[in-house]
Amino acid sequence: MDDGSRQLLGREAAQVPRRFAPLVCTQLGFHRDPIRLYPVGPAWILAQKRKRYLRARRAGRATLIEVFAETFTPQARPLLGVVVVVCFILASSASASNAAVGHAAKGWWLGWEPAHVVNGSPILFKVVPPVRLESLAGTWMDHPVFFSFDPRTKLWFGIAGVSLETPAGKFVLTLQGKTAAGQEVSFVERLAISQGRYRQIVLRVPKQFTEPTPEQREQIRQEQVLKQEVFSRIDPKREWSGVFLPPVRASITDVFGTARVFNGATQSLHTGLDYGVPSDTPVVALNQGTVLLARPLFFEGNCVVLNHGQGLLTLYMHLSKMEVKEGDHVLRGQEIALSGGTGRATGPHLHVAVRWEGIYLNPATLLSLPFP
């Protein structure tokens, strides 16, 4: 929270009779719902519900509450204080997987989503430092985390991730900020990582994809060198903006993290999402970025890779047609290709993957995160 938010909570909470809290909880009806609060301007923002000075609207699996302090009369301020306090408590105790959680210490506030982080998950970090900063950077599992400031919410935000191979445990996030005067401030927090539950499926594909010829093995080797070069690029500049969009409007036929058994042998983990679409379905960019790769590959078929900046890449595979070329700049939601069944594929579909600094992450989680 910013300073105005803390002052509001402290000042108004002191005026609230305890007997009002159960009444407000009953009227809100939020005893089972996670609460998502957003700091806007000098206070947490709420809207009115009829004449009770409250309004709530659904925001995905959470409930968004907004407060417009200037609409409240002095007589209504105690009720506003109750609402803010109750909502803040509920937000801290929300159990939904996509609800934000946070921790405050030494003047810092750190929040992250999803609340329950597992191996393979992207993470959206949100930070309120104790002083005004010119820059903020982080380190997570030996990876740099690039932060941007959002003037609307007055939050610093950055994206990170956890590899599928990461064991359960607690891991350290280190934050380092610098003020305009050159003063350096830092903060360290330990986050718990759990093991996700991933399934296994059995597939049969042509032997050329599981038992390639010497010529095909050489092609695969050359492509591995190319992909290693492409995937190793980390641009600190952020190109992506706002929430990430699904690439097609279709059902998901295979999820992230599935162990794939090809012709009786486990050969890979499914590191993306499969969408069940017919050939020649338009495919759009999840977010804006630059085309790093647009060419046919042995396993991936026709493949497009977008660089969104800050180490974040999205990959689109098995395409029947690529409509962009390497070096092009694309916008969020722009059509970049048509789906197909090229490469190692059992039939027409779209495979979408997300990489962050060399780590494959769950695209479904990325699509659910509320980026500023």
pLDDT tens per residue across all 372 residues of the chain:
333 333 333 333 333 233 333 323 323 333 333 333 333 333 333 333 333 333 343 333 333 443 334 344 444 444 444 444 444 434 333 333 344 566 666 789 999 999 999 999 999 999 999 999 999 999 999 999 999 999 998 999 999 999 999 999 999 999 999 999 999 999 999 999 999 988 877 766 666 666 778 888 888 899 888 888 888 888 889 999 999 999 999 999 989 998 877 656 656 788 999 999 999 999 999 999 999 999 999 989 999 999 999 999 999 999 999 999 999 999 999 999 999 999 988 899 999 999 999 999 999 999 999 998
Class in CATH terms, 200-368: mainly beta
How are beta strands 108-113 and 101-105 bridged, if at all? antiparallel
Entry pTM: 0.71
CA distances from 54 to 13, 46, 61, 74, 93 (A): 17, 7, 19, 16, 21
Q: 181: which residues sit within 8 A by CB, 6+ positions away? A: none
Domain borders along the chain are 3-93, 101-193, 200-368
- Out of 2.60.40.10, 3.90.45.10, 3.40.50.720, 2.60.40.1590, the CATH code matching 101-193 is 2.60.40.1590
Burial 310-329 (b: 16+ CB within 10 A, else e): bbbbbbbbbbbebbbeeeee
Question: Helix 20-28 and helix 77-93: axis angle, to 10°?
Answer: 70
